[in-house]
């Protein structure tokens, strides 16, 4: 019997005979056998590229529910395993409990071909599909499953608005005629640079044993090693030689195996009229998290379900995109994190073996310390021991030393502007706000940006350290922290707003200029923060630079007398010193502009002046924006050099933030989205770093620390939500040690109070 949509989509065209297109065709035909569905595939039925396909249990569950016939056929073919082997400088570390299922891509296509044929789907092999626009006039629905190089997407680029990013590594898909007994990652440190092998089994039955082998390396390593000049056979032979230990001396086999650079595809829209993109045509995710086929199959499932459920095709296509986009974007964020880890592989090779392995396992942030502890507790305990965790102590509750200051744990209350000072004087609000967070267990509590002059304020509500009254106000806060929360350190962040000053407080209009009562702005260059809205700042001359440097040192002396344990210099977020560092905001032609060395000159002068006055046993940190999230701005490579310069001048740690430098930035928001920049600086320079940016859970903190991506984690909004975040994190992990002591007056509340009764007990017997 025809489904409710047969009158509207009786004819369906599918462009591309990969897993996503075939599965969509099979599902739509199964839902309505009267539909006429045609699949165009330009290759022969037995042509395929790549070798093995990995599918998750979640994807298989969706397939089982939608089409048990396909599910049973897949189940009969799968190779299953649950271990990952990581080879680091000749040492193999094994982690279990992961669960994988793989089969050959060719066999997967055969199963889908058979299913489509049995249902009556027309399969047109060795045939180029007509253009999507032509098909759209003859068919009710056109499914563009034509891959990463989608002609459909290109033909309608003005509607789909694709963004395609080409990445920094070259890789090649190869195969070995034996079955690896685990998912294997092996690193080769060659004279040309670091190379990486990703390998996994995909067949181990009567038809023979086989494994997929992907070899990947940075573009510059690929060129230096001469792969650019090798043909397919020579490349396979060379890779087999480099990874002879992993392969047991056996050869590698190619199949149209060309070296390529991964391209991340993102589209603003996934449908155009009655044409819809699925799979790699709509989005790609780096192969290192094994999600390409998974996403395509899940797209097909969602598209078929939405078409079946919605009375109108436009609504169905909108529902499909609405359902899938958040899932895809989450997967792409995870894939991007994994991709970056492999791009920066050379920075990790000097890590201890278990930390290297833990970092690899948690690179996408989908595997964390807590769930790895469930999957493989022995492996995780060994990583914790190497890190220095005493028995029963989570990583976040291990101490950390900066100069003469020992922090009892790795949690930092991040600087957060409160806009609640009067004439720059911190009052009762600051005492309660910072005092509560200190009582809440964090190892280090940071003030908001404390301004060094009235003209250096962001808003009239910003706190300062340019008067004795302000110093006395801060002394009241530090005395409370040191007296009532002994063991908690408190740090001050000094800064100058520069061109971002004289604005309203945040809740009255962030970055909106004051309607009255403003003050003249100064900056590295006369460029307004928001052209047409913000005031044009005055470019600082030599005399004014000297004055501002002295304002910083005077504020630092007041901070010393106020009892702060640590001082951070704010060189981020587009404020004055940050404005000197970024090429987007520093257009000077004198000694303070031009090259990165010149742009660093004034911030380093300020740092040196403060360091000369700041007590030698008290640490100084520097907050930087490691990227401007805008073309032509600070790059990650620049950030490494900026960090290198500050460390050479005596900085004890780099607080690595990003952005807020230009108003037209486009940040890549997501969980822990700024931590890769801290990771890069730490593992390139071997310097302590503080990671910030959407770190929200104690599991994230533990994971980042154990992987060697950071030394301290600064959290802002979690501490606004819960001033006792650190103590509650300790309780959630069953930790009651010295790194997270409950204040004596609060100790009775260290355990959650019992909840009320959830409901009446259910009857155990039914009497008739």
Strands 183-190 and 193-205: antiparallel
Split into its structural domains, the chain has a count of 2
User: Is residue 262 situated within a structural domain?
Assistant: yes
User: Do 305 and 398 fall into the same domain?
Assistant: no
Cβ-based neighbours of 726, under 8 Å, separated by 6 or more:
409, 411, 440, 441, 442, 443, 740
The per-residue pLDDT for range 568-603, each reduced to its tens digit, is 999 999 999 999 999 999 999 999 999 999 999 999
Do residues 333 and 401 both lie within one domain?
no
User: Do 427 and 325 reside in the same domain of the chain?
Assistant: no
Residues 469 and 593 in one domain: yes
Query: Which among 295, 325, 342 is the end of a domain?
Result: 342
d(CA 173, CA 50): 6
368 in a domain, yes or no? no
Q: Backbone phi, then psi, for 101, in 5-degree steps?
A: -140, 130
pTM of the model as a whole: 0.91
CATH number reported for the structural domain that contains residue 174 in this entry: 3.50.50.60
Task: Give domain status of residue 1, yes or no.
Answer: no
| Inside any domain, residue 277 | yes
Rounded to whole angstroms, the Cα distance separating 123 from 410 reads: 59
Same domain, 426 and 337: no
Number of alpha carbons in the 13 Å side-chain half-sphere of residue 62 = 19
CATH number assigned to the domain comprising residue 430: 3.20.20.70
Same domain, 317 and 400: no
Alpha carbon 114 to chain centroid, angstroms = 40
Question: Any catalytic annotation for residue 575?
Answer: yes
In the prediction, which pLDDT does 206 show?
Answer: 74
Q: Do 37 and 150 have their domain in common? A: yes
Identify the pLDDT of residue 759.
57
3-state secondary structure 575-626: CHHHHHHCCCCCCCCCCCCCCHHHHHHHHHHHHHHHHHHCCCCCCEEEEEEC
Q: Same structural domain for residues 395 and 270? A: no
Residues 168, 22 share a domain? yes
Q: Which residue has the tokens 């609640």?
A: 420
Tell me: do 530 and 398 sit in the same domain: yes
Q: What is the DSSP letter of 540?
A: P
Q: How far apart are CA 295 and CA 147, in angstroms?
A: 12
- For residues 469 and 568, state if they share a domain: yes
Domain assignment of residue 356, yes or no: no
Catalytic one among 200, 529, 575, 592? 575
* Residue 367 domain flag: no
- Core vs surface per residue 606-638: b (16+ CB within 10 A) or e: bbebbbeebeeebbbbbbbbbbbbbeebbebeb
Report if residue 548 sits inside a domain.
Answer: yes
Phi then psi dihedrals of residue 554, to 5 deg: -65, -40
Structural domain that includes position 605: 379-744
Distance CA 486, CA 478 (A): 11
Residue stretches of the chain with pLDDT short of 50: 1-7, 764, 766-768
In this structure, the answer to whether residues 335 and 428 fall within a common structural domain is: no
Point out which residues pair with 522 in neighbouring strands: 538
Number of CB atoms found within 10 A of residue 585's CB: 25
In this predicted structure, what is the pLDDT of residue 595?
97
In a domain, 755, yes or no: no
3-state secondary structure of 66: helix
């Amino acid at each position: 019997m025809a489904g409710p949509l047969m009158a509207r989509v009786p004819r369906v065209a599918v462009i591309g005979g990969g897993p996503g297109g075939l599965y969509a065709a099979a599902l739509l035909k199964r839902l309505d056998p009267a539909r006429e569905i045609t699949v165009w595939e330009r290759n022969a039925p037995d042509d395929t590229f790549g070798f093995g396909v990995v599918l998750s249990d979640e994807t298989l569950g969706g397939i089982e529910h939608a089409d048990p016939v396909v599910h049973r056929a897949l189940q009969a073919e799968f190779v299953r395993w649950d271990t990952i082997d990581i080879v680091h400088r000749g040492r193999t570390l094994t982690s279990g409990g992961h669960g994988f299922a793989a089969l050959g891509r060719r066999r997967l296509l055969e199963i889908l071909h058979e299913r489509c044929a049995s249902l009556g789907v027309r399969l047109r092999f060795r045939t180029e599909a007509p253009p999507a626009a032509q098909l759209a006039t003859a068919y009710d629905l056109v499914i563009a499953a034509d891959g990463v190089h989608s002609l459909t997407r290109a033909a309608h680029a003005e509607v789909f608005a694709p963004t395609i990013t080409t990445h920094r590594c070259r890789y090649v898909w190869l195969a070995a005629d034996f079955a690896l007994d685990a998912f294997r990652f092996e690193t080769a440190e060659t004279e040309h640079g670091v190379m990486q092998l990703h390998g996994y089994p995909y067949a181990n039955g009567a038809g023979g044993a086989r494994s997929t082998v992907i070899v990947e390396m940075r573009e510059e390593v690929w060129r230096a090693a001469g792969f650019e000049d090798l043909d397919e056979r020579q490349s396979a032979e060379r890779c087999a030689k480099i990874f002879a230990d992993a392969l047991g001396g056996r050869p590698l086999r190619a199949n149209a195996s060309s070296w390529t650079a991964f391209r991340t595809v993102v589209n603003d829209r996934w449908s155009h009229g009655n044409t819809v993109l699925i799979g790699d045509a709509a989005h790609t995710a780096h192969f290192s998290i094994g999600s390409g086929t998974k996403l395509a199959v899940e797209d097909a499932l969602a598209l078929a379900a939405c078409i079946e459920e919605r009375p109108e095709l436009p609504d169905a296509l909108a529902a499909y995109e609405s359902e899938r986009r958040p899932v895809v974007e989450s997967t792409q964020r995870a894939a991007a994190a994994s991709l970056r880890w492999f791009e920066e592989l050379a920075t990790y090779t000097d890590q201890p073996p278990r930390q290297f392995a833990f970092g690899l396992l948690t690179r996408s942030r989908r595997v964390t310390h807590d769930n790895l502890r469930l999957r493989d507790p022995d492996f995780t305990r060994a990583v914790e021991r190497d890190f220095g965790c005493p028995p029963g102590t989570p990583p976040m509750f291990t101490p950390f030393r900066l100069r003469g200051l020992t922090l009892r744990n790795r949690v930092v209350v991040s600087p957060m502007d409160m806009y609640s000072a009067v004439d720059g004087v911190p009052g009762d609000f600051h005492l309660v706000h910072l005092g509560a967070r200190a009582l809440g267990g964090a190892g280090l509590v940071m003030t908001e940006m404390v301004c060094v002059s009235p003209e250096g304020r962001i808003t009239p509500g910003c706190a300062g350290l340019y008067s004795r009254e302000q110093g006395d106000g801060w002394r009241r806060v530090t005395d409370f922290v040191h007296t009532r929360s002994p063991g908690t350190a408190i740090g001050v962040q000094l800064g100058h707003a520069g061109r971002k000053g004289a604005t309203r407080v945040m809740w009255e209009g962030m970055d909106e200029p004051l309607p009255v009562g403003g003050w003249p702005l100064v900056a590295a260059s006369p460029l307004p923060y928001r052209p047409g809205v913000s005031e044009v700042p005055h470019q600082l001359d030599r005399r004014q630079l000297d004055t501002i440097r002295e304002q910083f040192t005077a504020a630092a002396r007041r901070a010393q007398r106020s009892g702060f344990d640590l001082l951070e210099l704010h060189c981020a977020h587009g404020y004055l010193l940050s404005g000197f560092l970024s090429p987007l905001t520093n257009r000077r032609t004198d000694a303070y502009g031009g090259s990165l060395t010149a742009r660093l000159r004034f911030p380093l002068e300020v740092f040196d002046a403060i360091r000369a006055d700041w007590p030698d046993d008290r640490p100084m940190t520097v907050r930087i924006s490691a990227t401007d999230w805008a073309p032509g701005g600070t790059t990650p490579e620049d950030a490494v050099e900026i960090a290198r310069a500050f460390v050479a001048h005596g900085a004890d740690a780099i607080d690595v933030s990003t952005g807020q430098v230009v108003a037209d930035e486009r940040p890549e928001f997501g969980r822990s989205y700024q931590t890769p920049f801290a990771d890069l600086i730490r593992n390139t320079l071997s310097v302590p770093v503080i990671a910030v940016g959407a770190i929200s859970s104690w599991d994230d903190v533990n994971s980042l620390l154990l992987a060697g991506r950071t030394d301290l984690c600064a959290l802002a909004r979690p501490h606004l939500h819960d001033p006792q975040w650190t103590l509650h994190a300790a309780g959630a992990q069953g930790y009651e040690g010295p790194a997270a002591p409950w204040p004596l007056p609060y100790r009775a509340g260290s355990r959650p109070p019992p909840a009320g009764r959830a409901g009446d007990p259910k009857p155990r017997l039914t009497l008739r």
